[in-house]
Amino acid sequence: MKDFWYYVPTRINFGPSCFQYLIDTVKQWGTKPLIVYGGGSIKKNGAYDAVVSRLIEAKIPFEEMGGVQPNPRLESVLEGNKIVKEKKCDILLPIGGASSIDCAKSIAATAYYDGDPWDMITKKVPVGKVLPIIAVPTLAAAGSEMSTSSVITKMDTNEKAGYSSPDMRPRAAFLNPEFTFTQPKGQTAAGVADAISHVMESYFSNVPSAYLQAKFGEALFNTLFHYGKIVYDDPTNYEGRANIMWACCWAINGLVVKGNPVGWSMHKLEHELSAFYDVTHGVGLAIIMPAWLTYCLTEDNAYRYLGYLKAAFEIDPVGMDKMEAAHLAIEKTKDYFASLGLPARLRDIGIEKDMLPVMAHNASIVGKDYFKNAFRVLDENSALEIYKLAY
Amino acid sequence: MKDFWYYVPTRINFGPSCFQYLIDTVKQWGTKPLIVYGGGSIKKNGAYDAVVSRLIEAKIPFEEMGGVQPNPRLESVLEGNKIVKEKKCDILLPIGGASSIDCAKSIAATAYYDGDPWDMITKKVPVGKVLPIIAVPTLAAAGSEMSTSSVITKMDTNEKAGYSSPDMRPRAAFLNPEFTFTQPKGQTAAGVADAISHVMESYFSNVPSAYLQAKFGEALFNTLFHYGKIVYDDPTNYEGRANIMWACCWAINGLVVKGNPVGWSMHKLEHELSAFYDVTHGVGLAIIMPAWLTYCLTEDNAYRYLGYLKAAFEIDPVGMDKMEAAHLAIEKTKDYFASLGLPARLRDIGIEKDMLPVMAHNASIVGKDYFKNAFRVLDENSALEIYKLAY
């Protein structure tokens, strides 16, 4: 186990009854929230009302900004910055998926930065003062409500950049699994795939001594694969939604990665898809994952695939040839994502073959540090190889 | 899954290099620490020097109080309160096992309470202002460094009382697994048993929908049983010590219990042993656990024993009769604790048979709320039954 620090001070309020603590929490951190949301689903699933009715009752003034898009854009961040300054908001209150939460994090981090926010998002300047954030997630996916990072896309230059800061971690989050009952099937599937990829990036590591972290990863694999199919088939299954929602938080908040440092190479490969084609993040990952697993497999690291096979699919590899068992794990992964209605190949989502070398080149530049610390060290050629396997 | 809140803001600094952050952390929370420790082992294992040399170098004044006993006494709390007030200490810095940390927590909670501290410890008055605590554990056991609770013993009346408050959770903790290399074999075994019991109290629950929590519990069982024997046999095995130390934190910090509320009935049964006979907590628990498991087993709840059998002992119960498999799990538990040199029966540790009804009576009064929410509801008669099974 490597030396590490672990500090996750987000106060989680979980379950349908959680909003009883909302007003006290808002008052603890600010006086005037900016509510940030996306396309309006939060007005149908009850989340908007749960927040706004309580703010009005408590006579807490607030501002609103809707229209945040999936793969949130720099333009939304700039718009939010303007509202925060003009209306003197001192706390961000995103309601929705990771797009709304990531957008709010970047508004909180850049609102009082005098330079170009893109410089901070692309890590050219460090994060300074960050306004407090209270998140109300209504999708189970990226776990942004308990993480320090934000990913923002600049569409005019096909750039997608992620950065993080401890202060960008929400101070509190309110998770009502019932709000995810109306999450569309496609988003449910993509969300489950996203969370699985978060565990996978950490679990497939070369630090075998981070044993507890691997066991926690197996607990998350088991839960995500088990309930992912259940909520896909039965969207109002509370037990399933609750377990998926809570698992999504733990897949990203540091539990499986602290003491077990890894390069997030799969995400760098996927970010190029989203940047060039605006692909849903989890959909891109579901296609990249089996290809990445196939490319990375060696005789030496096959034991990780066996642990994954057992945890995710409850297949005991005892007595099996280890490489056969590893390939079985990959095939099972493909079958599982197919069972969630996710596309299997890059060609199925409109990626042009000619673009693979361009994306491989970009991924190798943007993802340089990630590639060299990955489970299997990658470069431009291996990135292209993985894209081809996924095509 | 039940509604819950989860908030664990302890900043963990883990590994031999962690003390580089000590001074900044102390300065963040106070100006003059009171160092609290036990019998002096911290002066041999390097922990005392790691802290004190840095405080001196940084010219931070501090006070010291040694001599805290296992099952820390009310007298130590009162002594600490006197030092805090007279010397104007504003932060507690316990170094050692859970006894030192629990004692420091109670000093922090009662120092500025004008009434009798025992009233607060026995929950007759609520916890108010608590001084900040930074913990330096040198034993892997109770995980007090990441928990909100403190257990204090009043020897003259044979009372052992536990209480908790969110502010009693240490603000930060510094965990160097190397400090546990010199933990005596008996303490290593008792510490592992204590952590296993913490997972067991939550895992054996009647909330099957808290699935993720159960899977996390299985990850902890697997890690604790696996490495417990390794570090018992090979005390300077860093990988083993690191995994045990980190697992002990997660066994108690809320991960397996939030959303999965349970009564800590085993601990109430053990506390009577410690109160009357000053038994080492983990030793008492190792004897109580198999008896408690035996008493609680029913056809309906046997599935929990099967999950435990698989996680703790890597025995797949597929094809086995469920009650036979459950009894196998109990036998394996006994064998395991015997392999750690722990006594198997109450008679082996000097408990008098005549005292069983007295302890059962006391446990049923002190543990009333715990007994009625337990995995199997207990009362005075069942407490006596369990003590007899353990005798």
- What are the tens digits of pLDDT across the range A114-159? 999 999 999 999 999 999 999 999 999 889 999 999 999 998 887 8
Check residue A70 and give its pLDDT: 85
Burial of B298 (0-12, 13-18, 19+ CB in 10 A): exposed
- CA–CA distance, A68 with A387 (Å, rounded to integer): 29
A315 in contact with chain B, both atoms CB, cutoff 8 A:
no
Which of A17, A211, A225, A230 is best to mutate for the B interface (most B CBs within 10 A)? Answer: A211
Position A81 scores a pLDDT of 96
Q: With an 8 Å Cβ cutoff, is A18 touching chain B?
A: yes
- Measuring CA to CA, how many Å separate B185 from each of B48, B88, B190, B191, B341? 21, 38, 9, 10, 9
Q: Is the distance from CB of B10 to CB of B173 less than 8 angstroms?
A: yes
Query: What residues contact B8, with CB distance under 8 A and at least 6 apart?
Result: A8, A9, B146, B169, B253, B254
pLDDT digits (tens, 9 = 90+) for A257-292: 999 988 899 999 998 998 888 889 899 999 999 999
Q: Which residues of B touch A11 (CB under 8 A)?
A: 5-7
Chain B residues closer than 8 Å to A239 by CB: 1, 209, 211
- Tell whether A7 is within 8 A of chain B (Cβ): yes
- Which tens digit of pLDDT belongs to each residue from A321-374? 999 999 999 999 999 999 999 999 999 999 999 999 999 999 999 888 899 888
Report the residue of chain B nearest A316, measured CA to CA: B316
Q: At A55, is the pLDDT very low, low, confident or very high (cuts 50, 70, 90)? A: very high
Q: Does B319 touch chain A (CB under 8 A)?
A: no
pLDDT tens string A83-111: 999 999 999 999 999 999 999 999 999 99
Give the per-residue pLDDT at A110. Answer: 96
Q: By CB neighbour count within 10 A (0-12 exposed, 13-18 middle, 19+ buried), where does A210 fall? A: buried
Q: What are the b/e assignments for A121-135, b being 16+ CB within 10 Å?
A: bbeeeebeebbbbbb
- B21 interfaces chain A, CB cutoff of 8 Å: yes
**Dist CA B301 CA B285 (whole Å):** 21
Q: Tell me the shortest Cα–Cα distance from A380 to chain B, in angstroms.
A: 35
Residue A82 pLDDT: 96
CATH number for the segment(s) B11-178: 3.40.50.1970
Residues of B in contact with A219 (CB under 8 A): 212, 215-216, 218-219
Extents of the domains making up chain B: 11-178, 185-390
Give the integer Cα–Cα distance in Å for A2 and A17.
39
Q: Do B215 and A220 touch (CB under 8 A)?
A: yes
Mutate to test the interface with B, among A11, A202, A212, A227 (most CBs of B within 10 A): A212
pLDDT at B276: 87
Nearest-neighbour CA in chain B from A311: distance (Å): 10
CATH architecture under which domain B185-390 falls = Up-down Bundle (1.20)
Among all residues of chain A, which has the CA nearest to that of B315?
Answer: A316
Is A243 in Cβ contact with B223 (below 8 Å)? no
8 Å CB contact of B16 and A8: no
Give Cα A75 to chain centroid, integer Å. 21
Q: Does the pLDDT of residue A160 top 90, yes or no?
A: no
pLDDT (tens digit per residue) in B97-123 = 999 999 999 999 999 899 999 999 999
Instruction: Please state, for a pLDDT cut of 90, what percent of chain A lies above it.
Output: 88
Mean pLDDT for the stretch of residues A44-67: 96
Pick from A5, A8, A212: CB nearest B247: A212
- Residue range A180-220, pLDDT digits in tens: 999 999 999 999 999 999 999 999 998 889 999 999 999 99
Give the C-alpha separation, A198 to B143, whole Å. 27
Residue B302: what pLDDT? Answer: 96
| B209 with A239: Cβ contact below 8 A | yes
Inter-chain residue contact B222 with A215, CB threshold 8 Å: yes
State the burial class of residue B358 (Cβ atoms within 10 Å of its Cβ: 0-12, 13-18, 19+): middle
The stretches in chain B having pLDDT less than 70 are none
Which residue from B minimizes the CA distance to A214? B219
User: In this structure, are residues B374 and B263 in contact, taking their beta carbons and an 8 Å threshold?
Assistant: yes
Interface of A with B in 118-177 (CB under 8 A): none
First to last CA, chain B: 36
pTM of the model: 0.96
Helices within chain A (DSSP H only): 22-29, 47-57, 74-87, 98-110, 117-121, 185-203, 211-233, 238-252, 265-277, 281-296, 302-313, 322-339, 355-366, 368-372, 380-390
Distance of CA A150 to CAs A106, A146, A202, B28, Å? 7, 11, 19, 27
Q: What is the DSSP string of A268-292?
A: HHHHHHHHHH---HHHHHHHHHHHH
Cβ contacts of B3 on chain A, cutoff 8 Å: 14-18
| Distance of alpha carbon A173 from alpha carbon B64, whole angstroms | 40
The pLDDT-based confidence of A246 (bands split at 50, 70, 90) is: very high
Residue B249: the pLDDT is: 96
Q: Which of A2, A5, A244 is the best mutation test for B, with the most CBs of B within 10 A?
A: A5
Looking at residue B391, what is its pLDDT? 97
All residues of chain A having their beta carbon less than 8 Å from the beta carbon of residue B166 are none
pLDDT at A40: 83
Contact A246, B3 (CB under 8 A): no
A251: nearest Cα among A73, A4, A8: A8
d(CA A334, CA A336): 5
pLDDT of residue A376: 93
Using alpha carbons only, how large is chain B's radius of gyration in Å? 20
Q: How far is B218 from chain A (nearest CA, A)?
A: 8
Q: Closest to B12 (Cβ–Cβ): which among A5, A209, A226?
A: A5
Q: Is domain A186-390 classified as CATH 1.20.1090.10?
A: yes
Query: How many contacts, defined by CB atoms under 8 Å, are there between A and B?
Result: 117
Architecture of domain A11-179: 3-Layer(aba) Sandwich (3.40)
- Are A215 and B219 within 8 A, CB to CB? yes
